[in-house]
């Protein structure tokens, strides 16, 4: 990895298996080959809350969707450390990434229990088609305005999602969401402040904000598409289509105040939930996974 990032450190610190494990195959589905594995970080309780701790297959798949979104976005944001326009922003984006890593850990831990995989198995040993992230989260950092545009959309979507998921019939998902929503609220605020500052700043910053928003907007639609899985998780999952209006309504006043129009144009076909990804995910995973794959079971 060319640049040590906080994201890597956080994931890795949360991570790594204690004993030497033999080389593993491409897509790692089983726990076999691990030997005795300890997670050298805070051991997430087998039960984050009282109640059944192992998700059904469908719930596990849903947790994987949400966990992948957070982890991919956190990995993207980690790149900014040492590169943001000012030191405070370095720290802000690093902190936001850290929150997202926390959400991803809880969600992947829960998603993996069903198939006897750890959060690290899911983070480091799945190849691209097995990922379930939506395209928005995979989009490149671009310039700072692109990153802010992505944050603005992501944080508003996640806030509306977690607000409702906190009432899920699934106690574990509800607990994770109730925790996450408070943190995402700060992310939302952060993004809104920057949208205003860039859009109402100089001609240059305004032009970049308009460009960033225009480039990211095609990926908004995918967030609100109901996949068949959702039909099987009534009361457990939040139906994505029901989030479209509240998320749009939450973004509209900020755009209005920033004197920006909601971009119109082409809509990306998406497909992340089915394993069809943008061209950005492959290289991102290669960087994120290289260390774990080069040194299986390494710890520090």
Partner 1 sequence: MTAAKVAPGTSVARPRPTDLASQRAWDLAARVCDPEIPVLTIEDLGVLRSVAVDGTRTTVTLTPTYSGCPAMEAMRDDVLTVLRGAGYDDVTVELVLAPAWTTDWMSEEGKAKLVTYGIAAPTGRSGVRPAGAVRLQLAVKCPRCSSLNTRELARFGSTSCKALYECRDCLEPFDYFKVL
Q: Look-up: residue for tokens 């949208």?
A: 195
Contact present, 126 and 28 (Cβ < 8 Å): yes
Burial class (CB in 10 A: 0-12, 13-18, 19+), 228: exposed
Choose between 109 and 126: whose C-beta lies nearer to partner 1: 109
For residue 196, CA distances in Å to 115, 201, 202 come to 45, 8, 11
User: What's the CA gap between 213 and 228, in Å, rounded?
Assistant: 30
CB of 267 to partner 1, least distance (A): 25
Choose between 201 and 253: whose C-beta lies nearer to partner 1: 253
Choose between 23 and 88: whose C-beta lies nearer to partner 1: 88
Choose between 76 and 106: whose C-beta lies nearer to partner 1: 106
Choose between 46 and 294: whose C-beta lies nearer to partner 1: 46
Burial class (CB in 10 A: 0-12, 13-18, 19+), 142: middle
Question: How many C-alpha atoms does 286 have within 13 Å on its Cβ side?
Answer: 6
Contact present, 233 and 173 (Cβ < 8 Å): no
CB of 101 to partner 1, least distance (A): 5
Contact present, 76 and 5 (Cβ < 8 Å): no
| Positions that interact with partner 1 (CB under 8 A) | 10, 13, 41-50, 88-89, 91-92, 94-96, 98-103, 105-106, 171, 174-176, 178-180, 182-183, 185-186, 189-190, 192-193, 196, 250, 253-254, 257
For residue 233, CA distances in Å to 51, 70, 169, 213, 252 come to 18, 21, 10, 32, 30
Question: How many C-alpha atoms does 234 have within 13 Å on its Cβ side?
Answer: 2
CB of 237 to partner 1, least distance (A): 18
CB of 231 to partner 1, least distance (A): 27
CB of 141 to partner 1, least distance (A): 17
CB of 253 to partner 1, least distance (A): 4
Contact present, 240 and 223 (Cβ < 8 Å): yes
Choose between 100 and 134: whose C-beta lies nearer to partner 1: 100
Q: Which two tokens stand for residue 181?
A: 């929503």
Q: Which two tokens stand for residue 205?
A: 């910053």
Choose between 179 and 244: whose C-beta lies nearer to partner 1: 179
Q: Under 8 Å CB-to-CB from 298, ≥6 apart: which residues?
A: 16, 17, 291, 292
CB of 174 to partner 1, least distance (A): 7
CB of 226 to partner 1, least distance (A): 27
Choose between 37 and 48: whose C-beta lies nearer to partner 1: 48
């Amino acid at each position: 990895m060319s640049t040590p990032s906080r994201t890597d450190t956080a994931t890795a610190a949360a991570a790594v298996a204690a004993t030497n494990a033999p080389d593993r195959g491409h897509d790692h589905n089983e726990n076999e080959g691990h030997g005795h594995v300890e997670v050298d970080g805070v051991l997430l309780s087998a039960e984050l809350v009282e109640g059944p701790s192992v998700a059904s297959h469908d719930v596990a798949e849903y947790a994987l969707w949400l966990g992948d979104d957070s982890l991919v976005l956190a990995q993207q944001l980690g790149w900014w450390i040492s590169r943001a326009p000012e030191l405070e922003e370095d720290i802000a984006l690093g902190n936001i990434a850290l929150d997202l890593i926390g959400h991803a850990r809880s969600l992947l831990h829960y998603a993996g229990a069903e198939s006897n995989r750890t959060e690290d198995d899911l983070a480091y040993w799945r190849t691209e088609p097995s990922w379930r992230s939506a395209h928005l989260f995979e989009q490149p950092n671009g310039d700072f305005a692109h990153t802010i545009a992505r944050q603005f959309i992501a944080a508003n979507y996640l806030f509306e999602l977690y607000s409702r998921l906190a009432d899920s019939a699934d106690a574990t998902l509800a607990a994770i969401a109730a925790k996450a929503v408070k943190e995402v609220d700060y992310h939302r605020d952060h993004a809104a402040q920057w949208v205003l500052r860039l859009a109402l700043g100089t001609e240059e910053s305004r032009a970049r904000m308009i460009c960033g928003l225009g480039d990211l907007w095609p990926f908004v639609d995918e967030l609100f598409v109901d996949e068949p899985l959702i039909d099987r998780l009534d009361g457990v999952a939040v139906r994505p289509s029901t989030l479209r209006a509240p998320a749009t309504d939450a973004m509209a006043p900020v755009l209005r105040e920033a004197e920006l129009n909601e971009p119109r144009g082409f809509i990306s076909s998406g497909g992340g939930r089915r394993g069809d990804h943008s061209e950005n995910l492959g290289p991102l995973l290669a960087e994120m996974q290289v260390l774990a794959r080069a040194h299986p079971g390494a710890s520090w």
